[in-house]
Amino acid sequence: MLRFFKKLFCVLLVAILSSLFFSCEFDHGLGPSKTRISGVVIFDSSSTRPKNVEEVRVAVTAKTLAEILKGEVGLTDIYFGTAVNFGRDTAAYEIALPEGTFPLIGVLWKKRGENWKPTNLIGVYNPNCSRDFSPLAVQLTKERPIASNVNICVFWP
């Protein structure tokens, strides 16, 4: 009879502890961003890549191209994606961003041994893949959290 009560006690203890454990809420952190831009970086084969390229990244900002070229934008105003493989003809990218309007999605390159410069822009998102650097804005909203096929043509300096 004592064995029965010991087993019953163990079963009840496990049931109570299990229900306590599964009823707790855990903080899972921020989780992956639901808003993002993705596409392909297309390197122009007719232009020659400089030998001193250390890194290439997709960069997105809520500032305009004119503000960047005037030097009115700092690196804290720019969202950077992960490094892009610039040794190929094309490279896929994806960058998580907050909701908002982004008038400039572009590709920056970094010279070996130097810091990033917003003026080292070698390509912007525009549907014509033209050298005129006429950027096309992208808007991320709750209704449209993902912008895909935001392809960027790169023309080395």
Residue 27 has pLDDT above 60, yes or no: no
pLDDT over 50 at 20, yes or no: no
Kindly state the helix (H) or strand (E) to which residue 20 belongs, with its residue range.
Answer: helix 2-23
Q: Is 41 part of any domain?
A: yes
Residue 141 has pLDDT above 90, yes or no: yes
What is the number of domains present in the chain?
Answer: 1
Assess if residue 20 is contained within a domain.
no
- Tens of pLDDT, residues 66-93: 887 787 877 678 899 999 999 899 999 9
> Would you say residue 13 lies in a domain?
no
End-to-end CA distance of the chain: 88
> Which residues have a Cβ under 8 Å from the Cβ of 153 and sit 6 or more positions away?
42, 44, 123, 126, 129, 130
Give this prediction's pTM.
Answer: 0.73
Which residues are within 8 A (CB) of 27 and not within 5 positions of it... i.e. 6 or more apart? none
Assigned domain for 16 exists: no
Q: Is residue 113 part of a domain?
A: yes
Residue 132's domain comprises 36-154
How many Å apart are CA 56 and CA 73, to the nearest integer? 19
